[in-house]
Amino acid sequence: MTDAAGDNPSIEIRDFSFQLGKKQILRNVSFAVRQGEFLSIVGPNGAGKTTLIKCLDRILTGGTGEIDVFGRPLASYRQKELARRLSYVPQADGRVFPFTVEQFVLMGRYPYLNPFSSIGKDDREALSEAMDLTGTREFADRRLDTLSGGERQKVYIAAALAQGADVLLLDEPTTFLDYRHQAEIRELLARARRQSGVTIVAVTHDVNLAALESDRIVALREGSVVFTGTPEEVMKSDVLERIYGTPLLLMDHPRTGLPIIVPNASQEREP
Amino acid sequence: MSRGSILAVSAVAAVGVLALAPFWGMEHVPLAALWGGTDDYTKIDILWKIRLPRVAMAFLAGAALATSGMAFQAMFRNPLATPFTLGVSSGASLGAAVSIHLGLAFSLFGFSSVAWFAFAGALGTVVLVYGLTRARRGFSTATMLLAGVAVSFFFSSLILFLQYLSDFTRTFRMLRWVMGGMDNVVGFDDVLGVLPFVVAGILILVYLTHELNLITTGEDLAAARGVDVDRTKMLLFFAASLMVGAVVAVCGPIGFVGLMAPHICRLLIGADHRYLTPATLLFGGAFLVLCDTLARTVLAPTELPVGIITALLGGPFFLWLLLGRSSEVELA
């Protein structure tokens, strides 16, 4: 990735608001995603993070304001065209049909297929690259419904990478995973960025992880952007209290020196 | 066995069933009747006017019901979805019941009044369910499922009401119609009438092979991969409903083929619709031909409604699916 960051944002949102029924989910959201950066969107439950990421990928349509993707209005894209620019990894959801891992990852190639075309050389290459990068080749022939949560998440990321998009949108990629799988997924995302220069936008409620791996952080609260800045800037007790609406305990990370949030002991409990 | 060879074996089996079924029955029919190489014109008539049309109809009906069941299961991500989930069969049954209640007896373009009313009922239901779903803006599958179930219940009550009002003979005819069967198929008129719907419907499903795969992984993910989800769902809905409507108009609501065939095929060949659609088509068609052959031979000279056979085989299977294969049912 070149220095162009900032000059040519991959995604730019200006004054975007979104309603579901009568409920206002997003209010006047504005920020830009620079090319090649790792941007985390944090905030408490119900802040509108998932809605925002779905609006960016036009999984949800509607809303007011402007969203530009690589300099063009989102509305001007056909869905397949958009899929070549942005790919998406949803929150874990247990419902899967018995596809094999390879079949599933190959579905990432949909934006390049015609109704009757079969899998071509480019598709095979993209498949093989994505599976190598994510370490999913070893279970290529296993069925999706037999995988553990961590394995499944890797497969979902592999499929998103096979899609060959410039930006990877992730919804809570590590939330439901144990420590080992969390570390593996984070490692894998860092590797993907290094190798293909993909821009990453990840939604998470875990500001600790966000601060450790992102270049920049956007915080939402009740549908509004309440903070945009670097990890150093977010890890301050007054900023965090503004985002989460509750006082949080901070201490320095032993390796990065950056403050991290530690869970507070319950007031009820005697020390 | 690879998926390709499973498919080849099913194709051979289906052709075998299709070739044997016309010659299996109470009345012995020699092979020569096929090309008129016998002096016994009764045999030629039995073969050409009764057995062949019936086998052809059973195959078409089985293929149509099975593939639309497959499409609905994919679209709703629900293993219990059937071609009748959205009320097509209750709409058709209501149409048939109205026609029987009014004592109509006409025939138009080779179709009976009951078939015309049933077809109108099926189409009316499709439009009603679609309209109800659209009325709430968007094209939510949950809304559609609920609208379908509600309309289904409502129509079923109307049918009961009509049965209550009708005399004994008509009530019996309504009841008999709802059991489904190929027993009123005589000659190729019905087959030729239903054929274009089934062919068009299946072609649309084949055209949407990639989209069917993606939509089973979830609508959000499908959209993110570039699928125009609303358009896909609308096409699937109309393709499946039209072919089911045409089939039900002639054969009545034949249950369980649409639920069972896609599941058996998914177990054998996996969820990839590049293989699943042809496998389901072949299996559904051949299975119904087999059931219909049983229906007209087990109690010969009496005929059982084929719906009873499919349900007798399907019921236990359904339970096995529900209780035994827990991993499949987690989808629900």
pLDDT for B324: 66
Average pLDDT, whole number, for chain B?
A: 83
**Residues sharing a CB contact under 8 Å with residue A26, sequence separation 6 or more, in sequence order:** A16, A17, A18, A48, A51, A52, A55, A63, A220, A223, A224
Least confident stretch, B54-63, B162-171, B192-201: B162-171
pLDDT for A5: 45
Q: Which of A190, A174, A235 is nearest to A38 (CA)?
A: A190
d(CA A123, CA A106): 7
Tally of CA atoms within 13 A in the half-sphere of B65 that contains its CB: 36
Are A108 and B225 within 8 A, CB to CB?
A: yes
pLDDT for A15: 94
pLDDT for B332: 31
Q: What is the DSSP letter of A236?
A: S
Instruction: State the pTM of this model.
Output: 0.85
Q: How far is A114 from chain B (nearest CA, A)?
A: 9
Helix (H) or strand (E) holding B314, with range, is helix B306-323
Note the pLDDT tens digit of each residue in B279-293.
999 999 999 999 999
Cis bond before residue B301 (omega within 30° of 0)? yes
Candidates B77, B209, B225; nearest CB to A95:
B77
Candidates A79, A96, A99; nearest CB to B227:
A79
Number of Cβ within 10 Å of residue A44's Cβ equals 15
Question: What ipTM describes this predicted complex?
Answer: 0.86
Contact B48, B188 (CB under 8 A): no
Phi-psi region at A257: left, alpha or beta (left = phi > 0; alpha = psi -120 to 50): left
CATH code: domain B3-329 is 1.10.3470.10
Q: Are strands A167-171 and A199-203 parallel, antiparallel or unpaired?
A: parallel
Q: Which has more pLDDT, B104 or A140?
A: A140
Are B224 and A111 within 8 A, CB to CB?
A: no
Whether B329 has a pLDDT exceeding 70, the answer reads no
Q: How far is A134 from chain B (nearest CA, A)?
A: 19
> Which domains are delineated in chain A?
11-262 (3.40.50.300)
Q: How far is CA B251 from CA B29, B39, B112, B137, in A?
A: 25, 33, 12, 35
Tally of CA atoms within 13 A in the half-sphere of B150 that contains its CB: 11
Tokens found for residue B48 = 């050409």
Candidates A87, A88, A98; nearest CB to B266:
A98
Q: How far is B325 from chain A (nearest CA, A)?
A: 12
Number of Cβ within 10 Å of residue B149's Cβ equals 15
pLDDT for B330: 39
Q: Which residue numbers in chain A have pLDDT < 50?
A: 1-6
Are A79 and B221 within 8 A, CB to CB?
A: no
Note the pLDDT tens digit of each residue in B23-55.
887 777 777 777 877 777 888 888 888 888 999
